[in-house]
Structure 1
Amino acid sequence: MRNVNPLSNFMPCLSTNAEEMGICLLAPVCTYYGGRSTGGDCRMGLTCCVNEITSCGPLITFNNTYWQSPAVISSESSCGLTVKLDQYLMEQRKPVCQIRLDFQAFSLAQPNTESVCNIDSFQVAGALNKIPIICGDANGQHMYLMLPRASTSVQLVMTLGTSSSPRYWRIKIAMLPCDSEFLAPEDCLQYFTTSTGSVMTFNWMDTTSRATRQLASQDYYICFRTELVNRQSSGQVATMLCLSHCQVANGQPFSLSGRVEARSQRLESSSCANDYVVFPGGFSFPMTEPVNQRDRFCGTLLSQMDEADTQQTICSTAKPFRLLYRTNGDETLTPSSDSPQLGNQGFCLSFEQKLT
C-alpha cells in the first residue's frame, strides 16, 4: 500500500456481486465519503466503492452514483439532485461530455387521460439535447444527457403532486468523459449497443389496462450502434435493422394513435400527424406487394400497409440506424384525435440487426 494516494484512483469498477457500479478507492476513504465498500475488481488494495444518495437536494461529484428515493416522500413537494461538473476535481480529472442515467427502478403517478404528467414528473435541466418530461414507470430505461462544453452542473428534479400511488426511484448516474468509447451519437436520447434486444417508450408496460400510458410531448431519437452479426461463423457488419412487435401477455406492443386495437395507420395523410415513430426507409420484410416504403408509422399495429390488421416486421438499410419518436401535447383535443375510449400505450418493439 506504500505510495498509494487514497484519492489517486477513481476508475469505474464492478461490485463483487456484479450488480452495482462504483469507483475504486481505499476502504477508509470510501467510508469517509459516505460510500459502501463492495470488494469488486479493483487492484492495489482498493475496493469498489458504491456511492448512494437517499436524500433530496445533495450535490454529487462522483461517477456511478446511485440516487435512491428517500424512505418518506411527501406529496406536494419536489426532490432534486445536482451533478457538479469540474474537470479539476480529483474525482473527475477530465471534462465530462455526457451523463447516462439508468433507471434501475422508477415509478411515479400515471399521466392523465390527455397523456400529460400533471401530478408527478421527472425533469432534467442543463442538457443540450431534448430531454422529455416523464412520469409513470420507467424500470430498465436509460437516457443520455449531452452537455454544453462549459457545463458546470446538471439538475435532476422530481416534482410530486397529491397521489396515493407509491413513488420510488433508483437512478444510476454515470459521467462519461469526452474521450470515452461509450459516448452516444449526438442528439440520441437512447443508444443501444447490442445486435438484438427490445426498445420501449417511457411508461410502456405489458398490462391488461387500456388507460392512457403514452406520454405527451415526447420528441427524441433512439439510436443503435451498428454491430457485427454472424453468418456462417464469421462476423460481418450489419446492413439492416429490423423491428417487430414485442411478445406480450396482455399489453399492446404498438399503440400510438387510433380508434380501434390492432389496426395500422389510416388512409388519410393526416393520420400520423400527432403521435408517430419515424423509421427512415422502412419496408416490410419479407417484402409484400405492393411495395409501400414509408418512414412514418402510427396506429395500433406496426405495418407498412394502411388500415392493416396484421403486423409486419419493418426493416431499413438507412444508416445510422435510428428512430424518431414524437407525440403531441394531448390525446383527444387536437384535430384527428384519438378515441377517449382507447388510451394509447406507446410501444415495445423487438429489434434485430441483420445482413441483407
Structure 2
Amino acid sequence: MGGWNMCCAFGGVRKLHSSIRMSRYGICCVFMASCGGIARENGTYFVNPNSPDVTDGTGSCQLSILKLHPDICQLRLDFENFAIAGPDVLNHICNTDQFLVSGGSTVPTICGTNHGDHMYIDAGLGQSNPVILTVITSGPTFPRSWRIRISQIHCGSLHKADQGCLQYFTGISGRVKSFNYDSLSGRQLSNQDYSICIRTERNFCSIQYTACGDAIDSDRKRSFTLSGNSNSVVPAMLGGGIQSQSNSCPNDWLMVPCAKVADRVPPAIQCEDKICGGTFNAEPSTTERTVSSNIRPFRLAFHTDSVEAPTDVDNKGFCLDYVQQPCTNA
C-alpha cells in the first residue's frame, strides 16, 4: 500500500512537507481527532470542533486515548494551542470551562490560556484501559480553541519523565510557569497540587531560579504573585524552613527544596522550603533575588487551595527562569 493510501487507511490527514537539504517532497501523515474520537496513533492531535477555527459551543468534548503498545508508560500532552474561558475573578476556580484528564495519574483541573505548556500522564496498566481527555465548556460566548499533541512514551525511553512529575523539563536552562500564567491578564488557578521536574544534566549539582521579566515595563513585577493582594507590594513569605518562626505559607505556595539567596554574602547557613507572597526571594523581603537549591533531583512543588478572596487578590501565579550550575570541588 502506498504512503498516501496508508495514511488514509489509518485515519490520518495527508500533507506535503519539503526538505531543503534533500530538495524533495515527502509525505507527512497527521492524525487529528475531536469530540467522541479515539486516539490510537502516536502524535495524534486533539482539536476543538471546527478547527482550525474557534468554537463557542457549550457541552462536553471527550477524546479516548488507547495505547499503541503494552510497553507504553506515559503520555505527553503538548498544548500547542489552548484557550478556553478562564477561572472566576473571586476565587480563581475553573467554574465555566474545564480541562480534565481521567484514567491515568491524578491531574489538576485547568482552564484559561495555556499555549506552550505540557503535561505528563501516567498511562496506567494494561492496553485496553483508555486515558480520557475532556474539555467542558459552559457559560457565555467565548472564542475557544485547542490543539493538543499526544505523544506515547515507551517505558524504557530516554524521554520518560521521573515518577510523579506533571511537568518535566530538560536542558541546562529554561523557563517554568504555572498554568494560565500571564503577567497582564492571567489568574493563578485554585486547587492546584503538582510537581515540576527538571532533569539534572551531567556535571551539574545545583540550580538557580529567577523571576521572569514582565510583559510590560512597570515598577512592580507580577511574575511571582501567589498570595496577598498583588495590587500592592507584597513581600516574600516563607514556610517550612528555619528562618520563619511560623509557617507563613499555609494555603498557596511554591516548594523550592532548601532554597537560599544565590548571591548572599556571607552565604546563608539555613534554608527554606516554601515561598509565597508577592516577591520571589528565599528571605522575607520586598526585593526580588535569585534563589538557589542544591537538592537533587531538581523538583518544584506547586500548591493552591480553593479560596482567594478576600485576602488574596489578583494573583497571577509564577514564571521562573532556571539555570543549572556546574559542580565544583569547593
**TM interval, short-chain normalised:** 0.7 to 0.9
- Residue 75 (structure 2) pairs with residue 99 (structure 1): yes
Partner of 1:13: none
Instruction: Pick one of 98, 108, 126 that aligns with 1:132.
Output: 108
Letter matched to residue 263 of structure 1 = P
- Aligned equivalents of 2:283, 2:266: Cα separation in 1: 10
1:82 and 2:64 are equivalent in the alignment: yes
Matched, 1:165 2:175: no
The match for 2:241 is none
* Shift of residue 262, structure 1, vs aligned partner: 4.7
Task: Give the match's secondary structure for 2:110.
Answer: coil
Find the aligned partners of 2:16 and 2:79 in 1 and give their Cα distance. 21
> Which amino acid is 2:29 matched to?
C
Q: Deviation string for 1:249-300 (max 9, x for gaps)?
A: 3361101002333521176724201000101111111124682410110001
Q: Deviations over 1:182-218 (max 9, x none)?
A: 10000000000111111000000131x4xx7111111
8 Å CA contact retained: 2:74, 2:160: yes
From 28, 32, 35, give the equivalent of 1:52.
32
Distance verdict in 2 for CA 1:323–1:242, change over 3 Å = same
Q: Select the residue among 275, 280, 287 that pairs with 2:257.
A: 280
**In the alignment, which of 308, 311, 314 is matched to residue 338 of structure 1?**
311
2:237/2:249 contact within 8 Å kept: yes
Q: What do residues 209-241 of structure 1 show as CA deviations (whole Å, max 9, x unaligned)?
A: 4xx71111111010001124xxxxxxxx11111
Q: Distance in 2 between matches of 1:180 and 1:290?
A: 40
Which residue matches 1:316?
Answer: 293
**Count of aligned positions:** 305
Asked whether the equivalents of residues 26 and 46 of structure 1 are also in contact (C-alpha less than 8 Å), the reply is no
Query: Post-superposition shift, 1:163?
Result: 2.1
The correspondence for 2:204, drawn from 235, 238, 242, is: 238
Whether contact under 8 Å (1:75, 1:162) holds in the other structure is no
Q: Say which of 185, 193, 203 aligns to 2:180.
A: 203
- Tell whether the 8 Å contact from 1:274 to 1:327 is kept in structure 2 after alignment: yes
1:247 and 2:213 are equivalent in the alignment:
yes
CA distance in 1, matches of 2:76, 2:154: 11
Higher mean C-alpha displacement, 111-120 vs 259-268: 259-268
CA distance in 2, matches of 1:349, 1:220: 16
The CA distance in 1 between the partners of 2:245 and 2:92, in whole Å, is 24
Question: Is the contact between residue 279 and residue 288 of structure 2 (CA under 8 Å) also seen in structure 1?
Answer: yes
C-alpha distance in 2, partners of 1:221/1:346?
A: 15
Query: How far is the alpha carbon of 1:93 from its aligned partner?
Result: 4.1
Partner of 1:150: 126
Aligned to 1:227: 201
| Contact 2:227 2:276 (8 Å CA) reproduced | yes
Does the aligned pair in 2 maintain the 1:190–1:221 contact within 8 Å? yes
Q: Detail structure 1 runs of 4+ shifted over 6 Å in the superposition.
A: none
Equivalent residue runs for 1:4-83 within 5 Å: 6=1, 26-32=3-9, 33-39=11-17, 47-53=27-33, 55-71=34-50, 73-83=55-65
The reply on whether 1:115 has 2:92 as its aligned counterpart is yes
1:239 partner SS? strand
Give me the CA root mean square deviation. Answer: 2.3
Q: Distance in 1 between matches of 2:69 and 2:304?
A: 39
Query: Contact 2:70 / 2:126 at 8 angstroms: preserved in 1?
Result: no
Q: CA deviation at 1:40?
A: 6.7
Equivalent residue number for residue 218 of structure 1: 192
Are the equivalent residues in 1 in contact too, given 2:56–2:143 (CA < 8 A)?
A: no
CA distance in structure 2 between the partners assigned to 1:345 and 1:168 by the alignment: 22
Contact 1:30 1:37 in 2 (8 A): no
TM-score by length of 2: 0.86
Are the aligned partners of 1:115 and 1:213 in contact in 2 as well (CA < 8 Å)? yes
Preserved contact between residue 38 and residue 50 of structure 1 (Cα < 8 Å): no
Give 1:315 deviation, angstroms. Answer: 0.6
Task: After superposition, give the CA deviation of every residue in 1:131-169 in whole Å (9 maximum; x if it has no partner).
Answer: 110000100000000122225211000010112321111
For 1:47, give the aligned amino acid: I
Taking a change above 3 Å as real, the CA distance of residues 51 and 214 of structure 1, as seen in their structure-2 partners, is same
Question: Per the alignment, in what secondary structure is the counterpart of residue 115 of structure 1?
Answer: coil
